[in-house]
Amino acid sequence: MHGNTPLLSIRELKKVYKTREGELEALGSVTFDIYPQEFVSIVGPSGCGKTTLLKIIAGLLPKTSGEIFVDKKQFDPSREVGFVFQKPLLLPWRKVIDNVLLPIEILKLDKRNYIEKARALLELVGLSGFENNYPNELSGGMQQRVSIARALIHDPKLILMDEPFGALDALTRERMNLELLRIWSESQKTILFVTHGIQEAIFLSDRVIILSARPSRMIKALDIELPRPRTMEVRSSAEFGVYSLEVYRCLELT
């Protein structure tokens, strides 16, 4: 299904936090690969280190040990990664389009070359016409779309998403799932998606990585072989139920 060189390789990644009460082993030893243009979700109990894992990949936290490679090389996360946080984190004093262009400014690239791209991305996330609005004029779902456009603007290979739809209501969330699949296939990016929603993970992903409680290890990488493009109907299919049950079983919820 995918090519043979992984885009992202994580090898025996460990993270130990030093706290006042002593050492806290967040990531036990995590190993997995993600291939180009894959959509991979990570599920696991709360506090098992999912956010920690994404932050280490993005270079926001130092790892304790282990290796991370992109295209088999050590890599510069600022160029290769786009991060979508749980909160939209838009700068309220900037117009939507200037929020999308923020990474360009930080990376000191020439903004003029990216304005058209920013518009195109806003169109991709379904927000054309809102370029000159301010964030507080948008709904929560729209704000999160802006933050997705922002994560794509500098053309990173890998998009990390940390429960991006966790704060949205169920209906908006399902709509955003469909939108995300469309954005993913049109932009041809590789996505690593953290979520608490098991259904959401299965619906979106090529593969669901299931982590154990802290210190976390990978319990299973479950390949989801549901046909694409996926629609909401797939959720009521028998295979979908089998996958869900499998994830629940791995998380010892049954």
Residues at the contact surface with another protein, assessed by CB under 8 A:
55, 58-60, 76-78, 81, 83, 85, 87, 89, 91-94, 102-103, 105-107, 134-136, 154
Structure tokens at 158: 């890998």
Rule CB under 6 A: say whether 209 interacts with ligand ATP.
Answer: no
Size of residue set near Mg ion by CB under 5 A: 1
Residue 48 or 97 having the CB closest to ligand ATP: 48
- Of the candidate residues 148, 214, 246, 247, the single one contacting ligand ATP (CB under 6 A): 214
The CA–CA distances, whole Å, from 38 to 34, 54, 102, 144, 182 equal 7, 16, 26, 21, 13
Q: How far is the CB of 101 from ligand ATP (least distance, A)?
A: 29
51 binds Mg ion (CB under 5 A): yes
For 94, the token pair is 């900037």
Cα(156)–Cα(110) distance, integer angstroms: 16
CA 40 to chain centre: 8
Tell me the C-alpha distance between 161 and 191, whole Å: 7
**Closest distance between another protein and the C-beta of residue 108, in Å?**
9
231 torsion bin: left (phi>0), alpha (psi -120 to 50), beta (else): beta
Euclidean distance between CA atoms 195 and 178, whole angstroms: 15
Identity of the residue, 126 or 166, whose beta carbon is nearer to Mg ion in the bound complex: 166
Site for ligand ATP contains 29 (CB under 6 A): no
Which partner from the list ligand ATP, another protein, Mg ion, none does 26 bind, CB cut-off 5 to 8 Å by kind?
Answer: ligand ATP
* The residue type at 62: P
Q: Which does 48 bind (CB under 5 to 8 A by kind): Mg ion, another protein, ligand ATP, none?
A: ligand ATP
Task: Label residue 47 left, alpha or beta by phi (over 0 means left) and psi (-120 to 50 means alpha).
Answer: left
Segment near ligand ATP (CB under 6 A); pick from 18-26, 130-138, 172-180, 244-252: 18-26
The nearer residue to ligand ATP, 125 or 211, going by C-beta atoms, is 211
